[in-house]
Structures are given as structure tokens and as C-alpha cells.
A and B are shown apart, each in its own frame.
Chain A
Amino acid sequence: MIGGPPLLDVSGLDAWYGDFQALFDISISVGEGEVVAIIGANGAGKSTLLRTIAGLQPRTAGSLTFDGAALAGVPAHRRVALGISLVPEGRRIFPSLSVEENLLVGAQASRPGAWTVAAVLELFPLLGDKRRRGGSQLSGGEQQALAIGRGLMANPRLLLLDEVSLGLAPIIVRRIYEALPAIRAAGTTVVVVEQDIGQALRAADRVYCMLEGRVALEGVPAELDRDQIATAYFGVRA
């Protein structure tokens, strides 16, 4: 569903943790309105990539462009104002804040848009009667919903979801993914990092597979077969 220039353009990206290089020459692009999935085994660099796009990665090289403008040197909190919102791995709810406060603080960047506390609670009814509860008192699935809701409160143009299925029961995961079409309908572009390959392939328009810090495969889910994916995922060399 790519029409016009990509919303997010990553080109030749390298990233390091200290002396350890986590990303090698990554090039991906995401068009406005798309749902793109990034899959790969543990340690492939998927989360690092999202963190780099969000601005949390200190040592990088290469080009990152969002809506035509370069992101180099823009601090993470400013990228939220530009329209990039990362829902981090592990949920990372603020324990000192209530559910409602977690959502309110998500709107810190004050971007205009359709997402309000009411709209988020409508999307995730399971949070509805827990508004005043402390953030740390929720179950895993509720916390994930809250984290996504918090990410939406920034009214992002690009929503990055990092491993939302981790540690959750399949039925909860499905419920979370059921919210995706509504998010999409509101005009948000979504990048999903997933270990659950089936879920990723069902939800995405296009998929990238990463292996050991590089892009190993790119394509439309319908056109990729199991062997191709397995090779790219596990790095089985013929």
C-alpha cells in the first residue's frame, strides 16, 4: 500500500552498544498508512532498530528520515512531538501513576488528534473500570493495552510496537491485535516487532525479517513461503 514517498526511510543504518555492533547497514522503508512487521529471532536487532528510530540509541551511523526530514540529532522526546511513538518492550508502565495518569502523561507532547482518554478506553474496554488503579496493579494483558493506549495518546503518525505479545496468553494477544484495524483507520502507520510469526504475517501488509543485525528478507506475506521465512529467520545456510 505504498503511495508517494515513504513516511519512514531508513538507509544504511548501523548501531552500537558500546563496542558491540547490533545493526549492520539496515535499510527499510515504511509508507504512510501501512502496517509493517519486523520478525526475527532473539538478538536479531529488532528492538534496537525500533529504539534507534525512537531516538534512544546513542551511537548510530547512517540515515534516518521521517516525513522527509532527517532525524539525526533530534532527541527522543522531540521525536514524539514529530509524530513517532514507541511502545517499548516490556510494557514499561509508570508504577507511580494510575491508569488514567499513565494515559494522560502519554499526551505530554500535546499533538492534536482523535486519541483521548475516552477514545483509548473505548478501544480497550478491559481498562475501563480500572482508571484509578495504580499502574503496577494490572495484569500483563491490561498493562500491554495500557502501554499501547499511552502510545496512542501522543496521536502519532507512526506507532512502533515492540514485542506486544511477549509473555501474554494467545487469547489476550489476539484481543490486542484486534485493536489494530481501528488504529489504522485513524490514519496511523504501524510498525510491529513480533516473535509470533503467525500473528505478524496475519496483521501486516509487508514484512521484514532480521537476522544478526541485518535485513535477511523482505516481502508481502502472501508471496512468501515457509522455507524462505525459516531460512531468513534461523539463518540456515544451504
Chain B
Amino acid sequence: MSEATFLDATELVINMGPQHPSTHGVLRVILKLDGEKVNGTECVIGYLHRGVEKIGENRTYQQFAPYVDRMDYVASVSNGLGYCLAVEKLINVEAPPRAQAVRVILTELNRIASHLLWLGTHALDIGAITPVFYCLREREEVLKIFENYCGARLTTHAFRIGGLQYETYDGFEEEVKKFCDWFIPKVDEYEELLTNNRIWVGRLKGVGILSADECKEYGVTGPVLRAAGVAWDLRKAQPYSGYEQYDFDIPTAQNGDTYDRYTVRMEEMRQSTRIVRQAVDRIPSGPIMGKAPKVVKPPVGEAYVAIEAPKGELGYFIVSDNSTQPYRLRVRPPSFVNLQALDRMVRGGLVADVVAIIGTLDIVLGEVDR
């Protein structure tokens, strides 16, 4: 009798993480399995919760700026840009054109760096070891540019409210141009390794499909949404920092599967390079700081400002009570919202695909947990 019950019980609950290499941080996923099939999941998050929003309420506007770098730490420049834009909106200051151009260059370079880290680790999860070495090699060059610019590689704190802290260094333009010329053939190289690789295609095609309607229903943005066929990018839809001056395309795909998200991100790296090239060719001269006050004290009010971070829509909702500290500072993190769709994507699939799907969502747990 007991044996029969044992055989009848086909569902198995297993635990993945929080210390699991393919969760890219400390994410715990509880999986309900029927053999190899996934019948349901539950994400347990919060291991990296640091109370960033509470800290924001207890720091001045400038003091809080370095904290945002620690959320999505592989795209800290984007985080900084979003925060600076939100505060600038509240105090009605705009960064001068020169600062905007430098901001665009660094943010796009950071998008490339973020996508490279995603590509390397995603491929590694699936079993392709080589790309990660190539990707980290190229990412190193981006980080060197950051280091030369502001002294930091990861948590850059590259921008200031109102513009930039630092002028570009001597040879900045040449170095960036050199990187662009050198980088494009590298993307082709990755594609040669992966795009038509039978194992790669077999592991990714038709896996973890998320349709455009489902994306909107869950609030999923970024490359995941674009891979489902929606050509929506905040840089085009609601341009900021002068993105309207640059000529670039929004790469999309149709099926919304893991393979499409891969092709979309690959093309995004090329488009980012295109933007960087245009921006670096016409960095205007002039001041790098706008008329931002030394003590930032926005009038009573609130504003929501969002940018297209490498992972999707990154928004800051700030409420000011006319003091030097935000009354309420809310971060709308793309990773947190996108991770919510994980259950829908893995349900009904195979347990081996869970790893591929977590990889393709491109989450950073520092941002999920804040």
C-alpha cells in the first residue's frame, strides 16, 4: 500500500538556489515538478534587500546618487542617468548639450557591457563555455573607458544632478571610436559561435515563450517585450538626453522565445555602437554642468521619470516636500517586474529549460531586491 502511494505521487517539489550558479545572484526558485515537466514555481526573493528606498528618504539628493549604482550593478551608469533625470525634472534643470552627449555615450557603452555580461553567463548556463571569455574580454575594454573617465569600473557614479562631475579625459573620443571599430567584428564572432549552432538553437528555440499581450499584462519591458514583436523603446517613445538626434533602429523579433531575445540583444549591441559613434562624432563644446543648485531642494511636488535601461523600463518616482531629502523615493526596477513573468514562462516546460529562461530574462538580483 505504502509503495503504491509512493509510485502514485508523481509531483516532486525541489528547491533551486539561493546559492545556485545559474540564478545569477541569490534567487531561490521552488519548483513543482512532474518528472521533467514543471508544473509551477515560486520565487523567493529579498536576500539582497538593503532598503534602498528607505535610505533614499534619509539622505540628501546628492548623497543618495551613489546608492543607485548598487542596484543594477552591471548597468550602474543607466541607474545614475535615471536618477539624475528624475531629480533634474523636479528642480527644472536640464543638463547642457555636452553633458547629454557624454551621458549618452557612457550609457550606451554600459548597455553593451550589460548585454555582454548577459550573453557570456547565459551561454555558460546553457553549456557553451567559450563565449563568456570573449564577452568578458570585450567588456573589460568598456570598463577601462569608465575607469579612465571616473576612476571606477562598476559602481561608477559617473553623473551628477545637473550634468557631469568630470570633463572627458584626453583621448576619450579616440578611445571610444577605437572601441566601436574593434567591437563590431566581435559581435559577428559571437554570432558565428552561437547563432547557427545546433545545440544553441535546439536549447533556445520555442523555449519560454512570452507573447506581446502577456508582456503587457505583466508589465514586462525591455528586450523581452521587443522579442515578442513590440517595437517599444523609451529612447524612441519618449526620448530623453537628446536621443531623438541619433539615428538607430529598435530591433524586434516575432516569436517571443528565448532565441528571439538572444537575437534582439545581439542587434541592440550593434545599435548601441551606432549611437555611440554618432554621439562621439558630435560632442558639442560648452559647459558640463547645468544650473543645478549646490543644495538641491525641489519645490513641493512629485515626478515619475523613466529611462530605457538595458533590462527594461527603469523609473524613479520621487515625492518632494521642499526639503533637502526626498520625502519618498520609489524605484521601479525592470528586473523585479520582469522576474514576475518567470512562472508563466517556465510552466509546462522542462526543468532543464528553467536555467535557460532565468538567463534570458537577464535579471540582476541587486535590483530585484533593492
| A and B are interacting partners | no
Residues of B within 8 A of A (CB): none
Residues of A within 8 A of B (CB): none
